[in-house]
Each structure stands twice: as C-alpha cells, then as structure tokens.
C-alpha cells in the first residue's frame, strides 16, 4: 500500500487527470481477460492469489477443485465454500448453507488429472505480441506496435 501511494505521488505533478484516450481505453483486467481467454485454458485470473482473509489452510493451497465462488474479472475469485469438505472443516466452517451435505468424493480420487503443461519459464501472450526469448537476462520480451488499426490491446502471463 505504501508503495502504491508513492507512485501516485510521483505521478501527480505530471498528470492531474487521465486524458480522453485513457478514459476510453479498456480496463487492464478486461484486456487481460479477453486476450488470454483465447488460449482456451479457462478464465484468466487478473488476481491469481487467494483472498488474504481466508484461513491459512486455504491460502496455502489457494483455489481448489470443488470450490464454489463468484468469479469476477476485476476482483478475481470470491470463495464461498467447498463441496468436498464437511461443514465443520475449518475452510467451510460458518460458510455453508444449512443442511449442507458435501459431495461424496471417494469415488472421484481416480478421476483427478494432474499434469505439468507449463514448465519453468513458460509464457502465454496474445496473438498481437511478437516475442523474443533469447535475451541475456529475460525469458520473454514482447514488442507490440500498430500502424493501421485505431486501437488494439495485448497481454501476457
């Protein structure tokens, strides 16, 4: 938070209000979501980290299979409860509907697929980004320039 304020302060002198072009530009989280949705890996998460108010046990793993929650482009995933955990589990305690019965998960253990699709130093970029990865200190570098179109967007993770 301190660092954010510092940046704000540093920018105030040169920029009192956003320009018209900046107001019309889509929000960063919209750019990110729409561009990386095309990668067909599900919803790209603008906020990848778990809610810091959740129990430590939840935060250590982050979002897990069986989580029910509200998904929002700008705010990320808002956890409600998990269907595989009992009502009195620390992660679910006080968060489930009355009469909640967890899903019987014992049969599903063999149906869980775990893979490494992205190895170290992998990345995804939207189609408009031209990348190079042979630089000394970086593993992805994207150049993006447009000549003919009025406005365009790109993103990377």
Partner 1 sequence: MPNGAITEDLMCRKSIKKYLAKNAETWYDFVSDVRGREFNNGDIRLVLGFDKVSSWGIATSACSAGERVHLEFRNTGDISQTYVWHCVGNGNGRVGPCDQEMQGIITLQEADRPSPLQNQSVFLRTLNFYVSGECWMNHQIRSNDHRSDSAPPGSHHGGSQPGHQAGSGAGGLDGGDLGGGGSYPTSGGANFHATQSGLSVSRAPAVHYYKSVY
User: Under rule CB under 8 A, which residues in 80-109 are in contact with partner 1?
Assistant: 80, 83, 95, 97-99, 103, 107-108
Does an H or E element contain 76, and which? strand 76-82
* Binder of partner 1 out of 72, 86, 90, 93 (CB under 8 A): 72
CB of residue 124 vs partner 1: minimum separation in angstroms?
8
Smallest separation (angstroms) from partner 1 to the CB of 149: 7
**Does residue 130 belong to the site contacting partner 1 (CB under 8 A)?**
no
Could you give the 3-state DSSP secondary structure of residue 72? strand
Cβ–Cβ under 8 Å, residues 123 and 157: yes
The Cα–Cα gap between 55 and 57 comes to: 5
Q: How far is the CB of 140 from partner 1 (least distance, A)?
A: 5
Applying the rule CB under 8 A, the residues between 5 and 34 that interact with partner 1 are: 6-8, 10-12, 14-15, 18, 21-23, 25-33
Nearest approach, Cβ of residue 143 and partner 1 (Å): 6
Between the alpha carbon of residue 22 and those of residues 9, 15, 27, 55, 155, the distances in Å are 19, 12, 9, 39, 17
How far, in Å, CA of 94 to CA of 92, rounded?
Answer: 6
**Binding positions for partner 1, 39-68, rule CB under 8 A:** 39, 41-50, 52, 56, 59-68
Place of tokens 């589990």: 89
């Amino acid at each position: 938070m301190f660092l954010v304020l510092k940046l704000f302060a540093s920018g105030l002198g040169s920029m009192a209000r956003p320009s018209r072009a900046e107001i019309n530009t889509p929000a960063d989280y919209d750019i990110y979501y729409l561009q990386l949705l095309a990668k067909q890996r599900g919803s790209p998460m603008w906020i990848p980290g778990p809610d810091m108010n959740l129990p430590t046990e939840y935060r250590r793993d982050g979002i897990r299979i069986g989580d029910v929650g509200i998904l929002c482009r700008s705010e990320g995933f808002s956890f409600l409860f998990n269907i595989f955990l009992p009502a009195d589990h620390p992660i679910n305690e006080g968060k489930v509907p009355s009469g909640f019965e967890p899903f019987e998960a014992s049969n599903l253990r063999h149906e869980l697929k775990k893979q490494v699709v992205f190895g170290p130093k992998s990345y995804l970029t939207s189609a408009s980004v031209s990348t190079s990865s042979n630089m000394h200190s970086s593993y992805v570098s994207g150049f993006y320039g447009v000549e003919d179109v009025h406005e365009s967007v790109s993103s990377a993770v």
